[in-house]
């Protein structure tokens, strides 16, 4: 049975039993504790924890998941995969243990002809928590399982919680006996390779308290509503039903592995080390396909870094298999054909996916070439010095400068028999992250919101009555105030607090749109609204600064958005939609927005594209955007179901989570149609103008456009006009002739620079000949010293020039110091001097007391004391005599 058919059969089974079929959420998740969805229950977490009322009593889904904690184990064992699909059925206070156990047993053992999976009931084992006598009894009654195939296990294996206070409960797992060829008899407690887990039923019935680990917390009592969360591994069920040994050999993965083997000219199963690399390629290519399809782009941080690491591990594994040519596009096409029956979007977006992957592969191949040279040189030096450990600073240099992930450095160093100072590398990375965090805190000082303190407010008062789409002002009541240390009863003038209102007209930052600005006012109160966020689903929190009077919990206030700010925000957000549509009009559908940010007067938009946009293309994009504004395209909002929106062709942001009904914003109908919760103008002409101000790279295969809009856009164009006018006046040319006139001036400057350099070289050559003639003979060697002006480069160039004028058959040393600013010494020695044992680097370090460095041929260093430097250079002949042993 194909994996896609297993998936469909699961959803159909539960749909027939009253479950709402919920589409898979995108892999990038808005959950701040996760980079990607890593379990089937993640999209349902707000309903399971009670933060949000569930829209249905029971649901089912097949959720895409990515886990990368065990990425180093991928391929080494046949149990780890970075991408997997989790079939799940969920009950939100509806049915509980008996129905969940009945559903799982029925679907697993029902015949294929009747819509089941046809597993042999005699080969199924289950585990239950040792305290869960109810589940043990249900397995006996529902499935007629004997006691020896119902295994009791402890908290580590059969008790579930999210690791924080909240819902928890026992779980029951289903295992299938794959036969004696795969391990020992005795059930899952003895061998979990032979007995493969394929389904986990979680019974959420208790509330847990504070504590660490899987057992270090108290059980506070029963939940008011008991929930069911189950997860059946789709790949594991495919492994069982397709009669293969592991997840790498199922129909969605094995074709990628076979194509990799074909490209590399190897055979799977012939060599253990090659098999590991083939499994890495098969897993990582499929994972990369799904991440790219869901809008993740390779980058240096967060999700982008995970994707970059996965792609690079696949590329390097192919190189280790002996295939040095580009391979990702070929392999991704195989994965696309296998995944498209379940996820048509991978085929629809394949042109973009392949382009991004190829860009990353090209960049990494260049990086690999550069970084490998640096690493090989460093390893050779470590071994030459008798060491066995690569310094952490060198590993950090490879990571920070050459884009080498630490795992790649570890792997390549280990292949050459050298360890890496992981602690030193980690310390440098920690320092870098702390600097970044400090910068971020400085930029966003005081805006952090304590979500745990606000949860009680949400539980007591319910969701905020949010009116940002309808009005600019509301009369509101203050439900809670939060200071730095927690809840406070009131805030006085000068204090900054977080305020929760019963209703608000303020837009909370989301979907790329900055939050509104405005004021709260009362009988004697004045307060500025600095920031607005949604720290919890349904709850809006305002960061405010009290400027006069006092703000107290329970008080009445008038909340008013700054109308100019809101107008600018609407212009910027609508301008972002317009620019996105214009970009796709000019570049094609693969130029799909992967990130955006807009605030009054400014917008930026990130999109996948290889190479920079030419001035002509930028001009065409800008013209297409402003043409839409001149046409005054209507802006409309429609509500519909998510499937209806997709059928209509509405574009969705990949990292947003959508409910059953979605808000579709249209500009000119189908010309721009996107899912969006932001505020917008009513007609395109109200945007005013879109003026592109910058285009840049934000990572391999990713570009960024920035633009000024509205009044700021007109201001930008006016400043550009004034700048052009000033330049035209200075070069005394009409504006139309400016490009040619400026080009001519640049040509003249370049010609003058070339002539000046020629004169400098001639002067340096003449001086070098004179200095070489004045060299003193020391123990059969010639030593020349001189002083020059300029910078360190000038001193180095003159030293090299003098060295070239000394007699080649005799050892020659040239030393040059600067007469100007900071004292600098440059030393160059010829080949005869190196043969005699002289080193430029050693001479510099000796003269400068250990400072400076370079190669044996040329080296330089500096110091703060000019007189000491002059004395050191005066002693150069004696140093040369000692080095030569004379």
Binding-site residues sit at 573, 577, 676, 680
98 CB-near residues (< 8 Å, 6+ apart): 138, 142
How far is residue 882's CA from residue 886's CA, in Å, rounded to a whole number?
6
Dihedral of CA atoms 104, 109, 113, 115 in degrees, nearest 10, equals 0
Structure tokens at 171: 């779980």
Start-end of H helices in 405-447: 406-415, 422-443
546 CB-near residues (< 8 Å, 6+ apart): 491, 492, 493, 494, 495, 496, 497, 525, 526, 527
Binding positions for Zn(2+) are 573, 577, 676, 680
Structure tokens at 714: 């007109």
Identify the H or E element spanning 719.
helix 710-731
Dihedral of CA atoms 351, 352, 354, 360 in degrees, nearest 10, equals 160
- Comparing CA positions, the residue from 58, 15, 22 lying closest to residue 40 is 22
Sign of CA dihedral 632, 637, 640, 642: positive
| Contact by Cβ (8 Å): 207, 223 | yes
Q: E-strand spans in 776-870?
A: 776-778, 781-788, 812-818, 824-829, 853-854, 858-862
How far is residue 712's CA from residue 691's CA, in Å, rounded to a whole number?
9
Angle made by CA atoms 754, 760, 764, in degrees to the nearest 5: 145
How far is residue 113's CA from residue 616's CA, in Å, rounded to a whole number?
61
How far is residue 358's CA from residue 287's CA, in Å, rounded to a whole number?
16
| Contact by Cβ (8 Å): 81, 235 | yes
DSSP bridge pairs for 152: 128
795 CB-near residues (< 8 Å, 6+ apart): 788, 816, 817, 818, 824, 825, 826, 860
Structure tokens at 355: 């382009």
| Contact by Cβ (8 Å): 65, 269 | no
Structure tokens at 538: 């349904």
The region that residue 389 occupies, defined by phi over 0 for left and psi between -120 and 50 for alpha, beta otherwise, is: beta
| Contact by Cβ (8 Å): 256, 334 | yes
Q: How would DSSP label each residue in 257-293?
A: HHHHHHHHT--TTS-HHHHHHHHHHHHHHHHHHHHHH
Residue 436: count other Cβ atoms within 10 Å of its Cβ. Answer: 11
Angle made by CA atoms 331, 334, 336, in degrees to the nearest 5: 110
What is the DSSP pairing of strand 389-390 with strand 419-420?
A: parallel
How far is residue 865's CA from residue 871's CA, in Å, rounded to a whole number?
10
Hey, is 691 helix, strand or coil? Answer: strand
- The edge-to-edge listing of strands for the beta sheet with 635-641 is 635-641, 661-667, 672-675
């Amino acid at each position: 049975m194909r994996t896609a058919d297993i998936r469909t059969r699961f959803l159909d089974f539960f749909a027939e039993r009253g479950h709402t079929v919920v589409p898979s959420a995108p892999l990038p998740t808005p959950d701040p504790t996760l980079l990607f969805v890593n379990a089937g229950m993640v999209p349902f977490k707000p309903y399971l924890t009670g933060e949000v009322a569930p829209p249905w009593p029971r649901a089912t889904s097949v959720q895409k998941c990515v886990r990368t904690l065990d990425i180093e184990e991928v391929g080494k064992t046949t149990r780890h995969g970075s991408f997997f699909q989790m079939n799940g059925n969920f009950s939100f206070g509806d049915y509980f243990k008996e129905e969940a156990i009945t559903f799982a047993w029925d679907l697993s053992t029902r015949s294929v002809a009747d819509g089941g999976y046809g597993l042999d009931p005699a080969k199924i084992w289950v585990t239950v928590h040792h305290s869960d006598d109810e589940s043990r009894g249900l397995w006996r009654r529902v499935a007629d399982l004997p006691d020896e195939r119902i295994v009791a296990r402890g908290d580590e294996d059969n008790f579930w919680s999210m690791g924080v206070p909240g819902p928890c409960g026992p779980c029951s797992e289903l295992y299938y006996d794959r036969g004696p060829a795969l391990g020992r008899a005795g059930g899952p407690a003895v061998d979990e390779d032979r007995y493969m887990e394929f389904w986990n039923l979680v019974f959420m019935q208790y509330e847990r308290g504070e504590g660490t680990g899987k057992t270090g917390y108290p059980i506070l009592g029963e939940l008011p509503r008991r929930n069911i969360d189950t997860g059946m591994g789709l790949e594991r069920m495919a492994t069982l039903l397709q009669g293969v040994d592991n997840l790498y050999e199922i129909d969605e993965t094995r074709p990628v592995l076979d194509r990799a083997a074909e490209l590399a000219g190897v055979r799977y199963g012939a060599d253990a080390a090659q098999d590991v690399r083939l499994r890495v390629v098969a897993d990582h290519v499929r994972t990369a396909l799904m991440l790219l399809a869901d809008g993740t782009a390779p980058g240096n941080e967060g999700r982008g870094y995970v994707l970059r690491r996965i792609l690079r591990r696949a590329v390097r594994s192919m190189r280790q298999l002996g295939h040095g040519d580009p391979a990702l596009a070929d392999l991704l096409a195989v994965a696309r054909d296998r995944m498209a029956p379940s996820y048509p979007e991978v085929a629809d977006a394949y042109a973009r996916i392949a382009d991004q992957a190829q860009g990353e592969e090209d960049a990494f191949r260049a990086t690999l070439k550069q970084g490998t040279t640096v690493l090989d040189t460093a390893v050779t030096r470590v071994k030459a010095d008798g060491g066995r450990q690569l310094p952490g600073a060198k590993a950090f240099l490879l990571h920070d400068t050459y884009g080498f992930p630490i795992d790649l450095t570890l792997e390549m160093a280990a292949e050459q028999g050298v360890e890496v100072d992981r602690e030193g590398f980690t310390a440098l990375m920690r320092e870098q992250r702390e600097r970044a965090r400090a910068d971020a805190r400085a930029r966003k000082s005081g805006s952090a919101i304590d979500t745990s303190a606000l949860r009680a407010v949400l539980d007591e008062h319910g969701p905020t009555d949010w009116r940002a789409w309808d009005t600019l002002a509301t009369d509101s009541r203050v439900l809670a105030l939060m200071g730095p240390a927690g809840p406070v009863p009131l805030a006085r003038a000068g204090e900054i607090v977080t305020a929760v209102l019963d209703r608000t007209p303020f837009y909370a930052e989301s979907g790329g749109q900055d939050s509104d600005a405005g004021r709260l006012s009362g009988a004697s109160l004045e307060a500025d609204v600095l920031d607005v966020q949604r720290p919890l689903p349904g709850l809006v929190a305002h960061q405010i600064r009290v400027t006069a009077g006092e703000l107290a919990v329970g008080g009445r206030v008038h909340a008013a958005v700054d109308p100019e700010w809101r107008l600018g925000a609407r212009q910027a957000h609508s301008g972002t939609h317009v620019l996105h549509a214009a970009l796709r009009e000019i570049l094609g559908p693969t130029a799909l927005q992967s990130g955006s940010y807009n605030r009054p007067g400014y917008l930026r938009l990130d999109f996948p594209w290889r190479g920079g946009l030419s001035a002509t293309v930028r001009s065409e994009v800008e013209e297409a955007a402003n043409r839409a504004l001149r046409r005054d395209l209507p802006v409309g909002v429609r509500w519909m179901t998510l499937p209806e929106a997709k059928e209509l062709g509405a574009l969705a942001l990949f990292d947003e989570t959508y409910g059953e009904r979605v808000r579709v914003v249209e500009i000119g109908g189908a010309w721009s149609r996107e899912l969006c919760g932001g505020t917008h103008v009513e007609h395109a002409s109200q945007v005013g103008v879109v003026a592109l101000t910058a285009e840049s790279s934000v990572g391999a295969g990713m570009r960024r456009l920035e633009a000024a809009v509205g009044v700021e856009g007109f201001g930008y164009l006016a400043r550009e006009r004034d700048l052009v006018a000033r330049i035209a006046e200075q070069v005394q040319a009409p504006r139309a002739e400016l490009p040619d006139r400026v080009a001519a001036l640049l040509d003249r400057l370049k010609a003058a620079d070339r002539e000046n350099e020629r004169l400098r070289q001639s002067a340096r050559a003449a001086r070098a000949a004179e200095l070489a003639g004045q060299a003193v003979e020391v123990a059969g060697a010639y030593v020349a010293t001189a002083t020059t002006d300029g910078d360190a480069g000038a001193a180095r160039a003159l030293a090299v020039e003098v060295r070239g004028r000394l007699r080649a058959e005799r050892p020659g040393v040239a030393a040059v110091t600067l007469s100007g600013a900071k004292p600098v010494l440059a030393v160059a020695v010829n080949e005869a001097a190196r043969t005699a044992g002289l080193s430029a680097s050693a001479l510099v370090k000796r003269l400068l007391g250990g400072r400076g460095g370079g190669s044996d041929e040329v080296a330089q260093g500096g110091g703060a004391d000019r007189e000491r430097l002059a004395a050191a250079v005066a002693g150069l002949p004696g140093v040369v005599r000692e080095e030569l042993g004379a």
